[in-house]
């Protein structure tokens, strides 16, 4: 595989690889390093990439596994699951503070989910992957993915509802 052929495979997915690494490692620097390391690994395995029917799923699996390895090594001490990346000049400071607060709450709730639910939620609701692709990346049955996603969404919804209703007396 030539350098150009490799880039044709990697360029369309490198942003998704970065976002997944950022979601798992939470630090921009760690995510950038992880993305570069994974691309280097993929370059060293470039002959294998063509063997896969879905090279994107393969690259995302390698990214996920690399990040999990980094987390196991306790390379990253400051873990967060949701990245706050919302900027708009037209939003008032008050509204921006509310949005940031809400994202912080969602982040806390997601961190309390089991790791598998966190990953399925990230891949489906944030990265917008199809269930077939998630199945390949996570090495799970699609029904198990749907159950994990449903449970994650339910926990997030219930926790946010509880937070918003706190202190409100129901008659």
pLDDT in tens, 101-153: 888 888 888 889 999 999 899 888 888 889 999 999 889 999 999 999 999 99
- Is pLDDT above 60 for 86? no
C-alpha 14/C-alpha 20 separation (Å) is 10
Query: Could you tell me which of 52, 53, 54, 11 has the C-alpha nearest to residue 35?
Result: 11
Q: Are 106 and 160 in contact (CB under 8 A)?
A: yes
pLDDT of residue 165: 77
Q: Are 120 and 147 in contact (CB under 8 A)?
A: no
Best CATH choice for the domain 90-171 from the list 3.40.50.2020, 1.10.10.10, 3.30.70.2740, 3.90.1150.10 = 1.10.10.10
Question: pTM value?
Answer: 0.52
CB atoms within 10 A of CB 125: 13
Domain boundaries, the chain: 1-80, 90-171
Written out in words, the top-level CATH class of the domain with range 1-80 is mainly alpha
């Amino acid at each position: 595989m030539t350098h150009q052929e490799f880039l044709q495979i990697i360029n369309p997915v490198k942003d998704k690889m970065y976002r997944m690494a950022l979601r798992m490692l939470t630090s921009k620097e760690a995510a950038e390093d992880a993305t570069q390391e994974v691309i280097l690994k993929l370059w060293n395995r470039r002959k294998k990439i063509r063997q896969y029917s879905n090279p994107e799923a393969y690259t995302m699996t390698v990214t996920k596994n690399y990040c999990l390895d980094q987390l196991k090594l306790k390379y990253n001490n400051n873990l967060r699951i949701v990245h706050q990346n919302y900027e708009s000049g037209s939003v008032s400071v008050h509204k921006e503070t509310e949005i940031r607060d809400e994202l912080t709450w969602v982040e806390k709730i997601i961190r309390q989910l089991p790791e598998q639910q966190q990953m399925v939620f990230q891949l489906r609701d944030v990265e917008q992957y199809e269930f077939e692709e998630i199945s390949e990346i996570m090495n799970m049955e699609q029904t198990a993915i749907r159950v994990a996603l449903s449970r994650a969404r339910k926990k997030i919804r219930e926790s946010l509802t509880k937070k918003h209703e706190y202190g409100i007396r129901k008659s």
